[in-house]
């Protein structure tokens, strides 16, 4: 004899099992959507990191040193006459480390008239920095340098009265006051 069963009649519910193909397709679409979102976020973060690394800011020296000459008109140390100065000079000990103020590609590393031993770095977005009167150059043309990499050692080569680094910032081929970039803070 079968076991006893029973209960009130509530109506018959029809159960239809889900269409697994539909559920799997929906899940695949959700995964694709999330993957696209992650790619966009990764791209944005990558762009922000590149912007941060190539953002021209800071001093070209890390230890010691002091600003010995500003950008603009000054008395030329050789002639005593008023002359234009395209950069800022940081004096210090011979052989002190000179660092890149932003990541970029070295476009010049060697002797240049008046500058003595010079390193020039292209940072993209129209920015180029120059580091002159070096005692020793530690990079070569084509090298990719990162922000704060040591690129040269301070010296007194070229038209110089003593150990210092002459620091220039060029924007779209024109010199600009490097003082604007020394204490600059990124806001992106």
Strands 116-124 and 150-154: unpaired
pLDDT tens for residues 59-87?
999 888 899 999 999 988 888 899 999 99
Residue 171 has pLDDT above 70, yes or no: yes
- Of the candidates 4, 54, 9, 48, the one whose C-alpha atom is nearest the C-alpha of residue 184 is 54
d(CA 176, CA 81): 22
Residue 186 has pLDDT above 60, yes or no: no
DSSP labels, 8-39: ----PPPP----HHHHHHHHHHHHHHHHHHHH
Report residue 38's pLDDT band, with 50, 70 and 90 as the boundaries. confident
Residue 99 has pLDDT above 80, yes or no: yes
d(CA 20, CA 79): 88
The whole-number average pLDDT for the span 138-152 is: 95
Q: What is the pLDDT of residue 17?
A: 65
d(CA 30, CA 25): 9
In this structure, the dihedral spanned by the alpha carbons of residues 139, 140, 145 and 151, taken in order and rounded to 10 degrees, is: 20
Higher pLDDT, 129 or 55: 129
Please name each of the domains of the chain with its CATH number. Answer: 66-182 (2.70.70.10)
């Amino acid at each position: 004899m079968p076991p006893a069963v029973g209960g009130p009649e509530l109506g018959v519910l029809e159960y239809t099992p889900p269409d697994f193909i539909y559920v799997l397709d929906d899940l695949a679409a959700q995964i694709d959507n999330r993957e696209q979102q992650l790619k966009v976020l990764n791209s944005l973060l990558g762009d922000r990191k590149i912007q941060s690394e190539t953002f021209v800011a800071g001093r070209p020296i890390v230890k010691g040193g002091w600003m010995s000459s500003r950008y603009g008109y000054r008395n030329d140390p050789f002639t005593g006459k008023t002359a234009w100065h395209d950069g800022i000079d940081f004096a210090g000990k011979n052989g002190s480390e000179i660092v890149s103020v932003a990541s970029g590609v070295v476009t010049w590393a060697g002797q240049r008239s008046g500058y003595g031993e010079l390193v020039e770095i292209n940072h993209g977005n129209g920015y180029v920095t120059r580091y002159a009167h070096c005692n020793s150059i530690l990079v070569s043309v084509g090298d990719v340098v990162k922000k704060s990499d040591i690129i040269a050692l301070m010296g007194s080569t070229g038209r110089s009265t003593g150990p210092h680094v002459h620091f220039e910032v060029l924007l779209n081929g024109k010199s600009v006051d490097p003082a604007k970039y020394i204490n600059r803070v990124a806001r992106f």
